[in-house]
Structure 1
Amino acid sequence: MEDYGKSEFAEQFRNRTKRFVIDIINLYRLLPRSVEAQVIGKQLLRSASSVGANYRAACRGRSQAEFYSKICIVVEEADESLFW
């Protein structure tokens, strides 16, 4: 039962990170075409897409240490997304 709970959580979080990236892409499309908005928007796209990609990599981690390392990157990129 415990493994199922972890697996269900991982799947839900995988879906949430994917939704986050899609939402950011849609936000980027709404930004003005000014140079400033595009520069900031591209930074946001990079950091947001890294959240999803690194979470998926964490789920494929071969060890707890590898999982933890990738999750730390996810947290950093989420914080950077918040900044932008």
Structure 2
Amino acid sequence: MEGLPLVGRVPSELGDLFVRYAESRGVQVQYSQEGYVGAEAFGFVMRTQQADDALLTRPVFVAREWADSVADAQLGFVPQAEWMVRR
């Protein structure tokens, strides 16, 4: 994503950066039921992983076939296990 740092970020910081990145390219963003940002056009949803006492970002990219509803934990194609916070 043109140098946008996606891994190991504070979720709120990456969320803001990602929204600006997507909107500058005319891409609509979606939010998961938990509030994580994603974009079907990129096949991307931001997830988190716990690192010691911090919660940091862990991007998930999916194939074009799974991009529809990528940010939807209920109706999307991303496996349910992927929606759990990693420790």
**TM-score w.r.t. structure 2 length?**
0.27
More strand by share: 2
More helix by share: 1
**TM-score w.r.t. structure 1 length?**
0.27
